[in-house]
Amino acid sequence: MVKRALLSVSDKTGITEFARGLQSLGVKIISTGGTAKILRDAGIEVTDVSEITGFPEMMGGRVKTLHPRIHGGILCLRESREQMAEAIKEDISLIDMVAVNLYPFEETVSKEGVKLEEAIENIDIGGPTLLRSAAKNYRSVTVLSDPSDYEHVLEELRSTGVISESTRAALAIKAFRHTADYDAAIDVYLSKTLLGENILRLNFTDGVKLRYGENWHQEAFFYKDPEIEGPTLAKAVQLHGKELSYNNYVDADNALQTVKEIGNASPAVAIVKHNNPCGLATGSTLLQALQAAWDGDPVSAYGSIICTNEIFDLEAATFLNGKFVEIILAPDFKPDALEYLKKKSENLRLLKLPELREAFGTDYTYKYIIGGMLKQSRDIGIYEKWESVTDIPYPEEKRPLSEFCLKACKTTKSNAVILAREYEPGFFMVLAMGAGQPNRVDSIRKLAATKAVENLRIIYEREQPAISFEAYRQEIISECVMASDAFFPFDDSIVYAAQNNIRYIVSPGGSIRDSEVIATANRLGVSMIFTGMRHFLH
């Protein structure tokens, strides 16, 4: 039973209601300073900590709860005759509940121009000690470090008269995590401020074992970042299908980031295979975007991951009949589409992410290598300038297609080359891509150019236009845009592009041979933009 509770909070959210609920259950309340005043002003009977300790709060409030009559009442083992006898001998009354949250240290140090003295004054000492004492003795004491737990604890007390051990254990772990995070924030700030050292502390929870790692013989786990905002796979709800593997998470994250690059102005679909978008398109409908994305590489789309910014509907689901995909990630699924897809395959993973259309909530990415962690700011934006560098001016009407092409290039592994097409007015698709090659020339001549012809052949045979395939191919590719994620170190890339009738190229520029590259483009009738922004992705 809970007979006495100590309430001492910095964040006063819900504390009055919580205290009133405890009082109605006959719980006696002990409190300190501002918390006690708020409770008294609300008509709640409170005993000051100073009445129990026999000492006033002192040293500007730095010392108030650090006393044997407080911590003895919390830490005393109820099942120990010796400790209970000691408590009686020293006139220590037991404390069965502790509700504490801490001085706002992180909020304080995040302010512009905060002084060291102010930061140090917001390092809580008594609060973490109370939380850790109560959490250590969770078998007898309920500890609350988060106002969001007040209501369900009250409900449990009202319904059963006690707090279950499972609830106390969960709350104790939460308290230890809270103090660990608090100490980590202090470490990071003081290490930087006093020692000039950069400390990185990351916090991941809710680890789940995955089906396997990159390969079947490897073990893998997924941990969530509890603080992240915006769309993440950690927030996705699996509606159907077997468990996810390591590769599923990696590929689905790439698909999510690719779709997020396109934005929400129109339906967009990314199709990812082996951590590269092998298909990407926009459309007037989800079905149209999905069809166009699939046309970007029908072969690689086998066993792929699909992500869209639209609610998945039955028309799109029907298009996938006879096509094998691993995962569909969408903001939601219409009921008839969900039922259709469930019947399509018992293994197809369907992931619902309601936040998918929201902005990402982090400015950094991290990558672990053996012996260390790499941290970098996210690659945000697609160009720093828009400079037409060739004799033939780059057409302004090609800019929307070029921007789409750059966005696709950003999420494709280096050396990346993307060939994109405006297949209907205002709607775009990746016609072909070259990814992950040690040299850029192979990405163009052996991959993107070759794949474009293969994909156009499939589209040509389906649409059966009244011209020869060669004329059809020349006409379409001549209006495509090719984007490169980095500069051209030699002019051979321009030569191979022109040989394939590619006339519009977007590149960061910045090579010591830019003048040679530009001269070759002028000689071959190619129009080129320099953006000043590289987009390597390793």
Enumerate the active-site residues: 136, 274
Task: Assign 152 to helix, strand or coil.
Answer: helix
Residue 38: name the closest of 55, 13, 59, 75 by CA: 13
Mark 240-260 as b/e (b = at least 16 C-beta within 10 Å): bbeebbbbbbbbbbbbbbbbb
Contact 218, 246 (CB under 8 A): yes
**How many other C-beta atoms can be found within 10 angstroms of the C-beta atom of residue 90?**
10
Q: In angstroms, how far is CA 35 from the centroid of its own chain?
A: 36
Region of residue 241 (phi > 0: left; psi between -120 and 50: alpha; otherwise: beta): left
CB atoms within 10 A of CB 388: 14
Q: Residue 57: exposed, middle, or buried by beta-carbon count in 10 A (0-12, 13-18, 19+)?
A: middle
Tracing tokens 């973490």 back to the chain, one arrives at: 128
Q: Which of 130, 429, 380 is nearest to 266 (CA)?
A: 429
Residue pair 298/454 in contact by the 8 Å Cβ criterion:
no
Structure tokens at 247: 């590769």
Find the DSSP H helices in 42-80.
49-53, 68-75
H helices of 163-277, in order, are: 165-190, 246-262
Contact between 92 and 76 (Cβ < 8 Å): yes
- Backbone phi, psi, residue 303, to 5°: 75, 25
Instruction: Quote the CA–CA distance of 45 and 20 in Å, as a whole number.
Output: 9
Are the CB atoms for 69 and 52 separated by under 8 Å? yes
Collapsed DSSP state (helix, strand, coil) of residue 409: helix
Q: Which residues pair with 349 in a beta bridge?
A: 327
Through-space distance between the first and last CA atoms of the chain, rounded to whole angstroms: 57
- For the chain, helix, strand, coil in percent to 5 are 40, 20, 40
